[in-house]
Amino acid sequence: MMPYGMFFDPTYILVIIGLIISMAASGYVKSTFHKFDQVRSKNNVTGTQAANYILKSQNINDVGVVGIAGDLTDNYNPGRKMLSLSQSTAQSMSVAAISVAAHECGHAVQDAVGYAPLKIRAAIVPVANIGSTLSIPLILIGALISGQSGSLLINIGLLAFSMALLFQLVTLPVEFDASRRALKILSQGGLLTQEELPMARKVLFAAALTYVAAAVASFLQLLRLFLLFANRNDRR
């Protein structure tokens, strides 16, 4: 019988920690959204109406608002100038729906004013996508090849994974700033009452935590890959 230690990789702990953090953040945002999705806004406006009102109030006339399938799949595409609201947001009059719609409008405002982190994120999207797709295959292939060629592939794979992590790190200020803009607009525009604003803040904070969790999970995964394959490089 082989020793138990030959089957146990202690670096899996990093993966498990990242998974737990991601699941906790996802569960928290869903429960928070559901809670305040039950609270109908006193102004009786839908997420779509709120989005159109905010865009108009910010003198943004080149952005369209459309509905898309799914729940919490809301997004803003700066390339297409399109703000997409999910089914749980578009026609709902809840505080949660209006908050999410306002957050996406916050991205449209960032785009309109030339917010630097948004531009940086858009610029590294292609590299990040390639990195997330090719990093693991490159590392695994490198691990099977001996000599300098294998080490080179491993290092390229680690660098590619780092680019995907960089994208998530750049995303953090973009998301937090969009929420900050959303809360300011909601407060000044009167879409939500003073009693409803703290609810909106909780919804947006919960959503922001998912991005933090994703960045932490990616960092832990990169750390695990480095610990595993940096040692292989040392032994070559």
Nearest to 27 by CA among 206, 203, 179, 202: 206
Q: Record the tokens describing residue 108, joined without a space.
A: 């449209």
Q: Per residue in 127-148, is it b (16+ CB within 10 Å) or e — as a string? A: ebeebbebbeebbeebbeeeee
CB 95 within 8 A of CB 34: no
Whether the CA torsion 69, 120, 135, 11 is positive or negative: it is negative
Q: What is the CA radius of gyration of the chain?
A: 21
Calculate helix-pair angle for 95-113, 197-235, nearest 10 degrees: 60
Residues with a known catalytic role: 104
CB 214 within 8 A of CB 138: no
Distance CA 117, CA 219 (A): 20
Q: What is the dihedral of CA 76, 26, 131, 113, to 10 degrees?
A: 30
Exposed/middle/buried for residue 176 (C-beta within 10 Å: 0-12, 13-18, 19+): middle
Distance CA 133, CA 192 (A): 42
